[in-house]
Amino acid sequence: MTSDRPTGRTALRPASRALGAACIALCAAAASGATFEGTIRVPRTGRAALGWSAGGCTVRGVSLRNYPSAEDIQKARREDPDDKSWVWWDFHVENRGTSKCKINVTVDVYDRNGKIVKSSDKTDTVDDHKMDDNIRVSTRMRTIDIAEAAKAHLRVEIGPKN
């Protein structure tokens, strides 16, 4: 006696394919990492906490280095409005994972009118088990622009090092 009913193997094949495709999609999403975005006040004298984590890697916060002194800002306003300053955005990162991770950071600095006055980015890797590391994003911009900047928009992508 024969049956018109499909065998278990035949009946599961489409379901297996769908499950396999779902697993591949999930693995690809996990391998691609995570993206975080946020707008902060410019951390002129302190540190802005972020706490963005993915896959064992964390961007704990950001601080500015080489922010122009009050004297430099006044001199730029008085004598040379086009005076430039190097300002470094130090992103404080760690990797508690067992493999290197890659972090891409983008900084957009906005003036009081909401116009981008400087944009810069950097991609770097963080070694596994590295608990105190920095990724420095350099910005050379007009001294007056950084002094009057209202906010910065940050975009961080964290993923495995391929």
Tell me: pLDDT of 16 over 80: no
Contact yes or no for 51/57 (Cβ under 8 A): no
For 68, the 3-state DSSP assignment is: coil
Contact yes or no for 73/141 (Cβ under 8 A): no
Eight-class DSSP state of 67: P
Name the percent of the chain lying above pLDDT 90: 77
Report pLDDT for 45. Answer: 87
User: Residue 37 is which amino acid?
Assistant: E
User: Tokens 């906490």, residue?
Assistant: 49
Banded pLDDT at 32 (limits 50, 70, 90): low
Q: How many Å apart are CA 85 and CA 79, to the nearest integer?
A: 15
Banded pLDDT at 10 (limits 50, 70, 90): very low
Report pLDDT for 33. Answer: 87
Show the DSSP H helices in 54-126 as ranges.
70-78
User: Residue 113 is which amino acid?
Assistant: N
Tell me: pLDDT of 15 over 60: no
Residue 8 burial by CB count (10 A; 0-12/13-18/19+): exposed, middle or buried? exposed
